[in-house]
Amino acid sequence: MTRIDEFLAYLSIERGLADNTLESYGRDISQFEEFIGGTFNTRLEDATENIIMSYIKAMKDQGKATSSISRTISSIRGFYSFIFDEGLTEHNPAADILCPKRERTLPQILNSDEVIALLEAPTTHTPSGIRDRAMLETMYATGMRVSELVSLNLGDIDTYMGYVKCIGKGSKERIIPMGQIASMWVETYLRLARPKMLKGRRGKAIFLNYRGKRLTRQGFWKITKAYAKKVGISKHVTPHILRHCFATHLLENGADLRSVQEMLGHSDIATTEIYTHLTKGKLKEIYDRTHPRAGRGK
């Protein structure tokens, strides 16, 4: 799998981007790779800021539309941010290249009934079903990224105290509370299902596939899609949507932004602010319930 393929897989699985968007990203990076290979005899991993700026200048000289150049810059920035965060390169040559500001939008959010239906979709009469229920419950209970979830090892989850330790972007460790229901399903999985999936082998990964190896992001993506289809959810569902639901539902029920930021592992609170999209009806409900002068005069 090439670096571009890894980046596109991340965009698909972690961020749930549509196929046509993925094609645009892939085309942008491939054209950039072709340019720097032919002009500078340089690999993607070895590009410098000056090389990227040369490519941007070349696009301008070719008369490319401003919108096309802006999208390409965004693609290049996203690619290098990904491989830097994944430890695939020691520097991010696009870090200081300005990218036009874009309006940040959220994908569709599942309502509470849809979340419950998705969480309860696995048939828990088999080891894989118990594993799937434990993973879905943990995703929604903690708001972890799917890459963080599948990277969990034994000792990272304390089901008695109710917390999980994970390593996020930039190798930053954080501790996230985990509710009783998710803790119960993880404990059930570790006690009843995981030993059967190991089949006598040893391993440190918590969540395993049918071969007793660590479950991949792609594997969990397919699992989530299948359960969404099973319960009739028509929205575009990926594992990442449970992270969005986690943040949105916390804020809707009164959690403060800083706490949600810490649990999500966002370095910039502006990233967390995209979740403050409460409906006017919800805001009115909160206002009526909490403001001492909200009641109408008599």
CA distances from 36 to 27, 43, 91, 131 (A): 14, 7, 17, 45
The residue behind tokens 């290049």 is: 76
Quote the CA–CA distance of 121 and 248 in Å, as a whole number.
22
* Beta strands in 96-160, from DSSP E residues, in sequence order: 157-158
Joined tokens for residue 168 = 């996020």
The candidate with the shortest Cα–Cα distance to 176, out of 84, 81, 250, is 250
Quote the CA–CA distance of 191 and 265 in Å, as a whole number.
29
Joined tokens for residue 196 = 């059967």
Strand partners, 205: 153
Return the active site residues: 145, 169, 240, 243, 266, 275
Quote the CA–CA distance of 220 and 14 in Å, as a whole number.
11
DSSP one-letter string for 39-66: HH---GGG--HHHHHHHHHHHHHTT--H
Q: Let me know how many helices (H) and strands (E) the chain has, helices first.
A: 14, 3
Whether the Cβ atoms of residue 13 and residue 240 lie closer than 8 Å to each other = yes
Q: CB-hemisphere CA count at 13 Å for 271? A: 10
